[in-house]
Structure 1
Amino acid sequence: MALVFISLSLILGMSAALPQDMTGKMLVFPQETNTAHVRLTPSRQNLGAVTVCMRYFSDLTRPFTFFGLATPSYNNDFHIFKMPARDEINVDVRNIVLNFKGQDYQLNRWQSVCGTWDAASGLVQLWVDGKPSSMKFSTESNISGPMIIVLGQDQDSYGGSFDSGRSFVGMISDVHMWDYVLPPHHINNYRRKFTFPPGNVLNWNLIEFQIVGKVLIQEEQHL
């Protein structure tokens, strides 16, 4: 009976998504697939503002998704997407696509990307390595769940319809999400790895997630 109990506990532990401290760790997406991804669990399901920050390392020159939040009504409710042109990144809010040009996306180098949106003003802004974009208007409508947040794949439908040609290959770390617009000095502190308030919707230091397919957890490599 003891052996059965231990085995059952291990099975339950493997299937459950428990919060983990990912400080100093990164997610490795080692190959192009239409299956491998990480699903993050947010702490709330209604948002009147958003800031998402993350670090990434990749040599991709094709389009891919940095961060995708979908709801049953909008597959790109908050979505940060790398366009084919090297200096263009899209931020989508409630399926409204905004294109930001002049961003210094680089290959084989750790970079930070942050996207912000506020329903009170409808304004969206993108930051790459602490460099802000112009502000653009999207929508003044709240994002309301149930939310599915995915890293590594582009949700063409709610939680699915992945395309390997838009998958992420590389490393991701330090994913944080707030339910307010993070002030510029905190975005700069995030970029420089100085003190900043951890995300209150997603907090890399205590984050709940599930891995599907070939995604690995490794120690960060910052040389």
Structure 2
Amino acid sequence: MKKLVYLVMLMVCSAQKNTEDLFESAFTFPEESKTTHVRIMPKSTQTVINTVTVCLRFFTHLTRDYSLFSLALPEQANSFLLWREKDGVYSVYVNDQVVFPGLKGVLNQWNSLCATWETTTGLAQVWLNTKSSPRKSVSPGYSIRGIPSIILGQDQDSYGGGFEAAQSFVGSMTDVYMWDSVLSPKEIQYYMTGIIVRPGNVVDWRQMVFTVTGAVVEETSVLGFVYHCN
């Protein structure tokens, strides 16, 4: 059954090759919804990932919990998840285990968020608006194995679905990147100031293959950052 699911996902990805440069663009999720989301097709065809960095920027008024970046596998819905808790803390789930770094964002302004994790020690870290959390261990020895389903704006309770309106993101999102490596603190600080040191080799905002479902609006970003990509 898993092989069949993987084959179907490969066919879907190969059938949608509209790669778009989203430089100076943002996705706006205008309303709470149990269907509205953006599905990202990863650039890489590799099926084993042992190190991860995910970075994105977001703008919201929400005070409840919600999902920002959800990576699911057929056997594990929360393989890698960036999540905002009810108390305002941004957390990372790896293999359905959670780390609470203690960092809080700011409402009604742009926030820059990065999270890193690696399998050997399980060390994970969150960066929010240039501030870093302590490094904590979560799911050491775990690997992301298989073809990932990557969703913006919803939390996957099942592979590619299981959405709940009460967990959806409302606001705007831009500059979404994923690497199969742990970026250095200097590279992350560069990202926080709007400098993209190297393209994402799993997810790259400048070479994005995606599909939109529901009321998502693609519009011009007004962040005011000066971008540079080596």
What TM-score does the superposition give when structure 2 sets the normalisation length? Answer: 0.87
Q: Which residue of 2 aligns with 1:127?
A: 127
- After superposition, the C-alpha distances for 1:78-121 in whole angstroms (9 at most, x for unaligned) are 001000002x12200011111121x1311110010001001122
Q: Are positions 1:60 and 2:67 aligned together?
A: no
Q: How does 1:130-169 map to 2 (within 5 A)?
A: 130-139=130-139, 140-169=141-170
Q: Which residue of 2 aligns with 1:206?
A: 207
Amino acid at match of 2:187: H
The secondary structure found in structure 1 opposite 2:19 is coil
Amino acid at match of 2:190: N
The secondary structure found in structure 2 opposite 1:185 is helix
The secondary structure found in structure 1 opposite 2:188 is helix
Q: Which residue of 2 aligns with 1:29?
A: 29
Gaps spanning 5+ residues in structure 1: where? 1-14
CA contact (8 A) 2:49 2:145 kept: yes
Amino acid at match of 2:158: S
Q: Which residue of 2 aligns with 1:187?
A: 188
Looking at structure 1, the residues matched to 183 and 169 of structure 2 have their Cα atoms a distance apart, in angstroms, of 26
- After superposition, the C-alpha distances for 1:39-71 in whole angstroms (9 at most, x for unaligned) are 001123320100000000000000000100000
CA contact (8 A) 1:63 1:82 kept: yes
Q: Larger radius of gyration, structure 1 or 2? A: 1
Q: Are positions 1:109 and 2:147 aligned together?
A: no
Shift in CA distance, 98/50, structure 1 to aligned 2, threshold 3 Å? same
Looking at structure 2, the residues matched to 158 and 108 of structure 1 have their Cα atoms a distance apart, in angstroms, of 31
Aligned residues: 207
Runs of 4 or more consecutive aligned structure 1 residues displaced over 3 Å after TM superposition:
none
CA contact (8 A) 1:17 1:210 kept: no
Q: How does 1:37-52 map to 2 (within 5 A)?
A: 37-42=37-42, 43=44, 44-52=46-54
Amino acid at match of 1:52: V
Gaps spanning 5+ residues in structure 2: where? 1-14, 225-230
Q: Which residue of 1 aligns with 2:98?
A: 97
Identity of aligned residues (%): 38
Deviation at 1:195, TM superposition (A): 4.3
Deviation at 1:194, TM superposition (A): 2.2
What TM-score does the superposition give when structure 1 sets the normalisation length? Answer: 0.90
Looking at structure 1, the residues matched to 218 and 47 of structure 2 have their Cα atoms a distance apart, in angstroms, of 27
Q: Which residue of 2 aligns with 1:197?
A: 198
Choose which of 59, 76, 79 in structure 2 pairs with 1:77.
79
